[in-house]
Structure 1
Amino acid sequence: MFELVLLAPEESLEHLTDALDALDALSVSVEDADAETPAEQALFGEPGMPAPKAGWQRSRVVALFSDQAGADEAAALLRLQDFFDGCEVVGIRAVADEDWVRLTQSQFAPVDITPGFWIVPSWHEPPADARQVIRLDPGLAFGTGTHPTTRMCLRWIAQRDLTGQRVLDYGCGSGILAIGAAKFGAQEIVAVDIDPAAVEATRINASNNHVNLEAGLPELATGRYDVVLANILATPLKVLAPLLCSHVRAGGHLVLAGILERQAQELQEAYAPWVQLGIADQEDGWILMTAQ
């Protein structure tokens, strides 16, 4: 493998990355060329929303090619393009062979949710004190148990007896919350997401954990549930307020995550016509809000 490393001004970045894709680069990564200097720029908005700009004032672009000839040819062709004015080829370098699967796996270790309740990747053995385990590998959908919002939802689930209850996981991602509900006794579990890849990931993860649930697009959610879980983000949670509340049976629980501490009041106001939300848990600037 060989890396072609370039510098590009903001106005050339989109053309450059499109060209690298057309030149059969195996991958293209972009980062702030001024990172960790006084000129560093923050370019990140709310998760799931577009970045405020297409690129940094100066971007460092790294394109991976299978051989040096491909990297050399790409560099030569790029230099001939009009949009390459202001860009610079920093160099081409060999990338050491790695066991990428093992390297990736090494980044994901078992995660403890509560004493005795663990999220464990398939390539690890469960810890000796694990009484309840969800087997989950990183994949296409959000939710591996490492993010505070997921951990708080799972903690809430683990602290309750859900035996025989009907549970809805709205915006299921990997299906981790639905699987957690099944592990703690829920009888009828429906997991829905607008992303078909998330639906498929949920079905696969449920099968791997030997739990029964229904997974599908949002129209699969019908009727009322004892527990409605939604770990999304504050903006869609506000939009979904009437829908989510309509799915909670009288006396049932609504559990919301993906909310920053500073967003608590706006969520309470959005849900006020139906329920009174309170803060049930908090971790690293995120909060869990619940209502009954």
Structure 2
Amino acid sequence: MMYELVLRAPEALVEAVSDALSDDLDALSVSVEDADAGTEAEQALFGEPGMPAPRPGWDRSTLRALFEDEAAAERAATLLLAQDWTEGLSLQALEPVAEQDWVRITQSQFGPVEITPSFWIVPSWHEPPAAAERVIRLDPGLAFGTGTHPTTRMCLRWIAAHARSWSRVLDYGCGSGILAIAAALHGAAAVDAVDIDPAAVDSTRANATANGVMLNAGLPDAAGGAYPLVLANILATPLKLLAPLLAGFVAPGGSLVLAGILERQADELKAAYAPFLTLEVSDREDGWILMTASRMA
């Protein structure tokens, strides 16, 4: 039976104690929580994708470390509390963790995601809603893009709202392939989905097969020529660096759809693409924006 060690630590000790638990004391996992959560003293800590956390913890943090057995948990607590540098660290609990069906618990956290009333992302263990006319079957995995993040939802909403018989579509940085699959379901005749990560390419191929759509998934050199629709849901920095490449893929009369951009980064993206296309903000959700551009026919 596994055991959980619960410690209370001031902010100054959080990072060092967490590292010691993970690197030296054989903890299977370590989590950090606000010890004042649910009270008037609770503090929100916000970070941004790809950036370090603004602080390692809260003024009073609760550390929860999971161990294979009671002896390992007791050893970790004894060694930590005996150190001079851990003054202020206190033991809150050392208790067994009940056996649980982790697969069922994980699955319960992911339900169907509504993109529009008729377009849904549905995990394989759920039945599609009765109103769903288009459904992407997608389970959480290693590749980014399950439909739960605002950037993905905004791209999917755009695809649904502008659906037409695109002759070719490029999904650059395809992740799970969710945007490529959505484009295929909404009328695209041919779809190229590319990513620098081979695991993402494999995930995209598997998800396309599971959804009964045909697409060409590969590394970035699989993209070529002009596309009536170019999609890229990555992050602002690579989007800026890729501006000449992505803009160059857009066919006359075609559209460019970019996501992974924070609201405060809008002007940076506009400037990066200005020599090629005029970007505008087309959608907003939870601090993220969708930016689009069209090339004159």
TM-score (norm 2): 0.87
Task: Specify the SS of the correspondent of 1:191.
Answer: strand
With 253-262 and 74-83 compared, the bigger mean Cα shift is at: 74-83
Task: Specify the SS of the correspondent of 1:75.
Answer: helix
The number of aligned residues is 292
Instruction: Confirm or deny: 8 A CA contact 1:16 1:83 kept in the other structure.
Output: no
Return closer, same or farther for 1:56/1:120 CA change in 2, 3 Å cut-off.
same
Aligned residue number for residue 3 of structure 1: 4
Aligned residue number for residue 94 of structure 1: 96
Offset at residue 74 of structure 1 (A): 1.9
How do 1:1-292 and structure 2 match up within 5 A? 1-21=2-22, 22-35=24-37, 42-163=44-165, 165-292=167-294
Alpha-carbon distance between aligned partners in 2 of 1:97 and 1:223, rounded to the nearest angstrom: 54
Offset at residue 29 of structure 1 (A): 0.8
Instruction: Confirm or deny: 8 A CA contact 2:166 2:228 kept in the other structure.
Output: no
Q: Percent identity?
A: 68
Equivalent AA in structure 2 for residue 2 of structure 1: Y
Return closer, same or farther for 1:196/1:17 CA change in 2, 3 Å cut-off.
farther
Equivalent AA in structure 2 for residue 213 of structure 1: L
Offset at residue 101 of structure 1 (A): 1.7
Q: Deviations over 1:58-101 (max 9, x none)?
A: 43210012332221122123233454333222221233333222
Task: Specify the SS of the correspondent of 1:187.
Answer: coil
Return closer, same or farther for 1:51/1:181 CA change in 2, 3 Å cut-off.
same
Offset at residue 26 of structure 1 (A): 2.0
Equivalent AA in structure 1 for residue 142 of structure 2: L
Alpha-carbon distance between aligned partners in 1 of 2:181 and 2:13, rounded to the nearest angstrom: 46
Return closer, same or farther for 1:285/1:11 CA change in 2, 3 Å cut-off.
closer
Return closer, same or farther for 1:197/1:281 CA change in 2, 3 Å cut-off.
same
What stretches of structure 1 of length at least 5 have no aligned partner?
A: none
Alpha-carbon distance between aligned partners in 2 of 1:3 and 1:257, rounded to the nearest angstrom: 40
Instruction: Confirm or deny: 8 A CA contact 1:138 1:144 kept in the other structure.
Output: yes
Offset at residue 45 of structure 1 (A): 2.9
Equivalent AA in structure 1 for residue 4 of structure 2: E
Alpha-carbon distance between aligned partners in 2 of 1:221 and 1:137, rounded to the nearest angstrom: 26
Alpha-carbon distance between aligned partners in 2 of 1:241 and 1:226, rounded to the nearest angstrom: 17
Equivalent AA in structure 2 for residue 246 of structure 1: G
Instruction: Confirm or deny: 8 A CA contact 2:172 2:220 kept in the other structure.
Output: yes
TM-score (norm 1): 0.88
Alpha-carbon distance between aligned partners in 1 of 2:139 and 2:95, rounded to the nearest angstrom: 32
Equivalent AA in structure 2 for residue 12 of structure 1: L
Equivalent AA in structure 1 for residue 276 of structure 2: W
Alpha-carbon distance between aligned partners in 1 of 2:38 and 2:240, rounded to the nearest angstrom: 36
Return closer, same or farther for 1:279/1:164 CA change in 2, 3 Å cut-off.
closer
Alpha-carbon distance between aligned partners in 2 of 1:267 and 1:4, rounded to the nearest angstrom: 46
* Superposed CA RMSD: 2.4
Offset at residue 47 of structure 1 (A): 1.3
Alpha-carbon distance between aligned partners in 2 of 1:238 and 1:87, rounded to the nearest angstrom: 45
Q: Deviations over 1:18-69 (max 9, x none)?
A: 3322333221112233445666555433212222344444432100123322
What stretches of structure 2 of length at least 5 have no aligned partner?
A: none
Alpha-carbon distance between aligned partners in 1 of 2:208 and 2:54, rounded to the nearest angstrom: 37
Offset at residue 181 of structure 1 (A): 1.0
Return closer, same or farther for 1:199/1:89 CA change in 2, 3 Å cut-off.
farther
Alpha-carbon distance between aligned partners in 1 of 2:194 and 2:86, rounded to the nearest angstrom: 45
